[in-house]
Homo-oligomer: A and B are copies of this chain.
Amino acid sequence: MKHNYLNNVPLDEAKTILFNHLQASGFSGKTETVKVTDACGRVIKNAAYAVICSPHYNASAMDGVAVKSEKTFGASEKTPVTLDVADYTVVDTGDPIPDGCDAVIMVEDLIDAGDDKFNIISAVYPWQNVRQVGEDICMGDMIAPSGTVLTPSLCGALLAGGITEIEVVKKPLAGIIPTGDEIVAPTSNPGKGDIIEFNSTVFKGMLDSFGAEAKVYPITPDKKELIKSAVEKALAECDIVLISAGSSAGRDDYTSEIISSLGTVLVHGIAIKPGKPAVLGEARGKPIIGIPGYPVSAIVIMDEIVGDVVSMYYGKERAKGETVKATLSKKIVSSLKYTEYVRVSLGRIGEKLSASPLARGAGVITSFTKADGVLLVPQDCEGIEAGEEVAIRLNRPLCEIENTLIITGSHDPLIDEVSDFLAKKGAPFRVCSTHVGSMGAIYAVRDGLAHMGGIHLLDAETGEYNKSYIEKYIPSGNALAVRGVGRVQGLMVKKGNPLGIKEFADIKNARYVNRQRGAGTRILCDYLLDKNGISADEINGYNNEEFTHTAVAALIAAGNADAGLGIYSAAKMYDLDFIPICNETYEFLIDKKYLENPMVKAFLEVLYSDEFKTRLNEMGGYTEG
């Protein structure tokens, strides 16, 4: 088996190598001329100067009559001035001021004196109620410097300044070549081993946000010559070429070799995690980037490298994006070998903005969909302690993040369902829920990291749920549990129950899949083991831990395990058999000071509604809490 090793070039160095080389190769934006009426969002090549003034004539600022101001001098209540027909011209707002006139009297200030005459009782000064030439824009004034992104109002100002067409930077076209024998177009029914090609869709969306257009080429199998000819085609048609997957150093990774044959490989292997196995190259003056196949690694390289490449095309330094300071909620250990790109969720609970690291696996796209921001842990840093202040690059506006109900604790699909009900009602906030188990809820609420969290903690001694745990871990009495739901917990087993499992003790003869430490369901498992006099060592798979009921169900359905504890709705979803074990009390632990929080109240209102009861019945396994 062939196996090569990658380099490990520090991120900044890799960028410098690439950008210096591209600059020397003359990589920069082409331009095109567009109508200003269609130019919103475009980047102008050169400074734009007004070619006419705005207004370009002296215009009435009011509905009224235009006069020579001298004629009105001395007018007062005692000495009104009468305007004859010859003294005035009726004007509407925007009308030109006739020659010889230099002011406008508002219609409201005219007193009808019959025979088309008017009296006035106050004078107007020269140019009063007139928008003089150039009031807004003067011919020759620079409306916007080179490289400006045209906003709607800037387009308006350009048109007002007499500019009808403008030279803008042509959007760069990025060609995306998905590669891999196992890659298939999006489908709901992939065969075993088929990998759904979704990276090109992610890239297309990201490129759009960078200001680039995307052309997605057909999926190309892992055949060197086929990939090479796809790259040649893309080089001929596009400004930037992205080869998706095949950028590492494995058997079928041809990206580096192909770029070498067409141009220059500048970097192969960047000291960033995820994202290491990237290739940065150039051919025919155009960048060719080999992007790792794992979606998270791919997104990191798109964000860190390709975004900067597009900015370079526009002749700009990449805008860094909004950054906020937040308190790290959990320790991060990081390798000295890499810059780490840690996705975090952010939560404003009270005054404090907390950053919680999300899953760090390179394959977990949902760590991006949930991420509110990114924490870059520098290469020379071994880790960051909980409680330290860190800088987070935001993925969504801070106001949206701050407008979020944070639910951290035990997993139950009902939380997502309530969120959806709220969304359908147009609730002006988001719900962010994290599954860290019932004990996680207690710590999160106690430490001010969540508004609320689901808990179902069985006290083995009293047989009661939750109460004793709250008293023990939150002795201040600052939090209380409010009514949630009753749920049936049981053993999930394959449809038809092939191992004939009848009660909890039967898991001794099965491959078990467990929940993570701190989960209420894990505590239930331990309680049941103890009650049945079984030790954890006797259970095959006791250390096989999952974080949600659905994850346990999915593994049983897939045959990775034979049995696991979970709630009925998960078993139903996966068409598994279900052996009920107990009814439990699933409640929401809430910091008392958030009982009146409008987001918390709205959540509970939905949860307790009749409409939602119908939904719980459909899901199955719930009783009134």
**Inter-chain contact A3/B63, CB cutoff 8 Å:** yes
Which one, A203-211, A332-340, A376-384, A514-522, is touching chain B? A203-211
Residue A558 is within 8 A (CB to CB) of chain B in the complex: yes
Separation of A553 and B126 alpha carbons in the complex (Å) = 18
* 8 Å CB contact of A541 from B126, B134, B153: B126
User: A36 near B193 (CB under 8 angstroms)?
Assistant: no
Q: Does A426 contact B (CB under 8 A)?
A: yes
B205→A160 contact, CB < 8 A? no
Q: Convert A274-309 into 0s and 1s, putting 1 for each residue whose CB lies closer than 8 angstroms to a CB of B.
A: 000000000000000000011100010000000000
Return chain B residues, CB-CB under 8 Å to A201. 36-37, 40, 152, 155-156, 159
A43 to chain B, nearest CB (A): 10
| A424 contacts B by Cβ under 8 Å | yes
Residues 32-58 of chain A, each 1 if its beta carbon lies under 8 Å from chain B, else 0: 000011001100000100011111111
- Whether the pair B423, A146 counts as a contact (CB closer than 8 A) is yes
23 contacting pairs across A/B (C-beta < 8 A): A3-B63, A37-B186, A37-B201, A41-B205, A47-B423, A53-B554, A95-B193, A133-B554, A136-B365, A137-B366, A145-B419, A152-B201, A152-B205, A155-B198, A155-B202, A155-B205, A156-B365, A156-B368, A160-B295, A320-B399, A321-B399, A322-B397, A322-B399
> Is A398 an interface residue, CB under 8 A from the partner?
yes
Q: Do B544 and A1 touch across chains, with their CB atoms under 8 A apart?
A: no
Apart from the given pairs A52-B188, A156-B365, 6 other A-B contacts in the complex at a CB distance below 8 Å:
A3-B63, A36-B201, A40-B205, A94-B293, A138-B550, A153-B295
In the bound complex, residues from chain B placing their C-beta under 8 Å from that of A614 are none
A251 touches B198 (CB 8 A): no
- Closest Cβ of chain B to A188, distance in Å, is 4
Whether the pair B152, A202 counts as a contact (CB closer than 8 A) is: yes
In chain A, positions 101-156 with a C-beta closer than 8 Å to chain B are: 102, 107-108, 110, 125-127, 131-148, 151-156
A93-B293, A201-B37 are contacts. A555–B419 as well, Cβ < 8 Å?
A: no
Kindly identify, within residues 538 to 591 of chain A, every residue whose CB is under 8 Å from any CB belonging to chain B. 541, 543-544, 548, 550-551, 553-555, 557-558, 560, 570, 573-574
Whether A553 pairs with B196 at a CB distance below 8 angstroms is no
Contact between chains at A186 and B366 (CB < 8 Å)? no
CB of A604 closer than 8 Å to a CB of B: no
The segment out of A311-319, A473-481, A523-531 that lies at the interface is A311-319
A109 to B21, CA, bound (A): 37
Docked pose: A567 CA to B58 CA in angstroms: 24
Answer whether A188 and B164 are a contact pair too, CB < 8 Å, given A108-B3, A322-B398, A361-B135.
Answer: yes
A573 neighbours in B (Cβ, 8 Å):
139-140
The chain B residue sitting closest to A417, CB to CB, is B142
Chain A positions 135-194 with a Cβ under 8 Å from a chain B Cβ: 135-148, 151-157, 159-160, 162-164, 180, 182, 186-190, 192-193
Confirm or deny: A90 has a beta carbon within 8 angstroms of a beta carbon on chain B.
yes
Per-residue CB proximity of A234-251 to B under 8 Å, as 1/0?
000000000000001011
Contacting pair A52 B136 (CB below 8 A): no
Interface residue ranges of A50-95 to B (CB < 8 Å): 51-59, 61, 63, 90, 92-95
Judge whether A199 is part of the interface by a CB distance below 8 angstroms.
Answer: yes
Q: Given the complex of chains A and B, what is the CA–CA distance between A552 and B47 in angstroms?
A: 22
Interface residue A598 (Cβ < 8 Å from any Cβ of B): no
List B contacts of A400 (CB < 8 A): 319
Is A323 close to B, CB under 8 A?
A: yes
Kindly report which residue of chain B lies nearest to residue A302, judged by CB atoms. Answer: B152
Chain B CB within 8 A of A16 CB: no
CB-based contact B182/A162 at 8 Å = no
A486 is an interface residue with CB less than 8 A from chain B: no
Let me know if B136 and A364 touch, CB within 8 A: yes
A621 nearest CB across to chain B (Å): 14
* Residue from the list B51, B56, B147 in contact with A423, Cβ < 8 A: B147
Check if A459 is an interface residue, CB within 8 A of chain B: no
The list of the 3 closest CB pairs from A to B, nearest first, reads A152-B205, A134-B554, A40-B205
Question: Given A41-B205, A192-B57, is A416 in contact with B145 using a C-beta cutoff of 8 Å?
Answer: yes
B205 touches A188 (CB 8 A): no
Q: Do the beta carbons of B139 and A550 come within 8 Å of each other? A: yes
Smallest CB gap from A433: residue in B: B142
Contacts of A127 in B (CB 8 A): 544, 560
Cα(A52)–Cα(B184), bound, Å: 15
**Minimum CB–CB distance for A519 against chain B, Å:** 16
Residues of B contacting A448 in the complex (Cβ-Cβ under 8 angstroms): none
Given the known inter-chain contacts A127-B560, A153-B368, A293-B94, please indicate yes or no for A186 contacting B205, CB distance below 8 A. Answer: no
Query: Once the chains bind, are A146 and B205 in contact (CB under 8 Å)?
Result: no
> Is there contact, CB below 8 Å, between A141 and B550?
yes
Given B54, B143, B155, B413, which contacts A142 in the complex, CB threshold below 8 Å? B413
Interface membership of A420, Cβ < 8 A: yes
| Nearest Cβ on chain B to A39's Cβ, whole angstroms | 8
CB distance from A118 to the nearest CB of B (A): 10
Query: Separation in Å of the A169 CB from the closest CB of chain B?
Result: 12
- Tell me the bound Cα distance from A51 to B196 in angstroms: 13
Q: Is A369 an interface residue (CB 8 A)?
A: yes
Q: Is A350 part of the contact surface with B, judged by Cβ < 8 Å?
A: no
Determine whether the beta carbon of A131 is less than 8 Å from that of B95: no
* A423 engages B159 (CB within 8 Å): no
**Is A500 at the interface (CB under 8 A from chain B)?**
no
Q: Name which of A140, A147, A366, A427 has the most chain B CB atoms within 10 A of its CB.
A: A366
Whether B57 contacts A193 by the Cβ 8 Å rule is yes
Q: Which chain B residues lie closer than 8 Å to A198 at the CB level?
A: 155-156, 159-160
A92/B363 in contact, CB under 8 A:
no
Residues of B within 8 A of A94 (CB): 180, 182, 195, 293
